[in-house]
Amino acid sequence: MQQFLTTALTGLTLGMVYAAFALALVLIWRSTRIVNFAQAPMAMITTYVALVVIDAGYSYWIGFAVALVAGLVLGAVVERVVVRPVEGKSEINAVILTLGLFIVIHALAAVIFGSRYRSFPAPFGLRGFQVGDLNLAITGFGIFTIVAVLVVMALLVALFRLTDLGLMMRASAFNAEVARLLGVKVGRMLTLGWALAALVGSLAGLLIAGGSLVHPSYMDSVVVYGFVAAVLGGLDSPAGAVVGGLLLGVSLSFVSGYVGSELVALAALVILMLVLLLRPGGLFSHAAERRV
């Protein structure tokens, strides 16, 4: 019983982290129609920025805020400087570009911050709660993670469903030419999409790093699982991303605890294949209706 509960709860927290990362992928997909492979190293670099701020003696929350702002700026700069020149060409160009960016940012981080493991503080306790004899393997920081991801999801749903801005962003991503004819400033929308996605990505980076160890490739496994989570949810739906993340986190935790940790990556691929075979559009996709 205790082991079951522990495995489920650690899977829940882990799933929420995958969900946060999947949300960033969904956001950039919805606002630009490309998949950003450089999302992970971008988040990694902003997490290091937070670490520098915290190591300089400022409080955790100042570091947290600086990292989010850094993410926003980094996203906008990357879109303007790196991605803009290939915009309007085949989408694959932009995707390959983000792969290149992945490698460049990695190398830069190793040069600037060093490649050793460093610990990253957490603002809340790292001890599990105890109820009688039962130990709940969830920490104060774990609860913060869950709340933060749910809030971001709600904000994203609201942005895309309820605001004009969200509508304009979707329009520019979906058909730039028509959107431009209708008076949408497509360039600005794309920059904004990248900036917001990088912001959510930085949040994911901070949530993964909190109370654990960071090094330049600490986000790499999350790229894979976050991507699987986003595809599970259909790449298009914030709620789908969160459900996909949870599903993946809990399943992988059980695979690791009851079957064997060497099968975790394999299990993630099996889940991805099953979903792609049975529901190619993802569990929550509306994309199929839009395809003409």
Partner 1 sequence: MRRWTRKLTLVTGVVTAGALVAACGAGSSREASGGEAGGASDVGITEDTVTIGAHFPLTGVAAPGYSEIPTGMKAYFDYVNAQGGVDGRKIEFVVRDDGYNPTNTSQVTNELVLKDEIFAMVGGLGTPTHAGVVDFLNSEKVPDLFVSSGSIQWGDEPDVKPYTFGWQPDYESEGKIIGQYVAENMPDAKVGLFLQDDDLGRDSEKGVRQFIDDQIVAVERYTSGNTDVAPQIAGLQAKGADLVLSFNTPSYTALSQLVAMKLNYQPQWFYANIGSDPTLVGSLLSKFSEGAVDGASPLDGVLTTEYIAGVDSTEDPWVKLWQKVWDEHGENGELTNYRIYGMAKAYAFVQALMAAGPDPTRDGIVEAVEQWDPATPGPELAPFRFTADSHMGIAGMQVVELKGGAGEPLTPVLTTDIGDAPIEEDTSGQADDAPPASGIPEVEPVG
Q: List the one residue from 41, 193, 201, 211 that touches partner 1 (CB under 8 A).
A: 211
Q: With contacts defined by CB under 8 A, how many residues of the chain interact with partner 1? A: 40
Q: How far is the CB of 38 from partner 1 (least distance, A)?
A: 20
Rule CB under 8 A: is residue 163 a binding residue for partner 1? no
Q: How far apart, in whole angstroms, are the C-alpha atoms of residue 181 and residue 200?
A: 30
Q: List the one residue from 10, 36, 39, 46 that touches partner 1 (CB under 8 A).
A: 10
Rg (CA), the chain: 19
What's the DSSP call for residue 259?
I
Rule CB under 8 A: is residue 121 a binding residue for partner 1? yes
Rule CB under 8 A: is residue 6 a binding residue for partner 1? yes
What's the DSSP call for residue 33?
S
Residue entry with tokens 């957490």: 122
* Interface region with partner 1, contact rule CB under 8 A, candidates 22-30, 32-40, 125-133, 197-205: 125-133
Q: How far apart, in whole angstroms, are the C-alpha atoms of residue 38 and residue 17?
A: 17
Q: How far apart, in whole angstroms, are the C-alpha atoms of residue 80 and residue 14?
A: 33
* Interface region with partner 1, contact rule CB under 8 A, candidates 93-101, 196-204, 215-223, 273-281: 215-223
Instruction: Check: CB of residue 17 under 8 Å from CB of residue 210.
Output: no
Look at residue 213 and give its three-state secondary structure: strand
Rule CB under 8 A: is residue 137 a binding residue for partner 1? yes
Q: List the one residue from 59, 103, 112, 115 that touches partner 1 (CB under 8 A).
A: 115
* Interface region with partner 1, contact rule CB under 8 A, candidates 36-44, 131-139, 164-172, 276-284: 131-139
Residue entry with tokens 């912001």: 199
Total residue count of the chain as it appears in this document = 292
Q: List the one residue from 99, 147, 213, 274 that touches partner 1 (CB under 8 A).
A: 213
Q: How far is the CB of 56 from partner 1 (least distance, A)?
A: 14
Q: How far apart, in whole angstroms, are the C-alpha atoms of residue 237 and residue 52?
A: 34
Rule CB under 8 A: is residue 90 a binding residue for partner 1? no
Which residues within the stretch 262-291 sit at the binding site for partner 1 (CB under 8 A)? Answer: 262, 264-265
Q: Which of 116, 121, 119 is nearest to 216 (CA)?
A: 116
Q: How far apart, in whole angstroms, are the C-alpha atoms of residue 9 and residue 267?
A: 19
Residue entry with tokens 């929550």: 284
Residues that bind partner 1 (CB under 8 A): 2-3, 6-7, 10, 14, 110, 115-122, 125-128, 130, 135, 137, 139, 211-213, 215, 217-218, 221, 253-254, 256-258, 260-262, 264-265
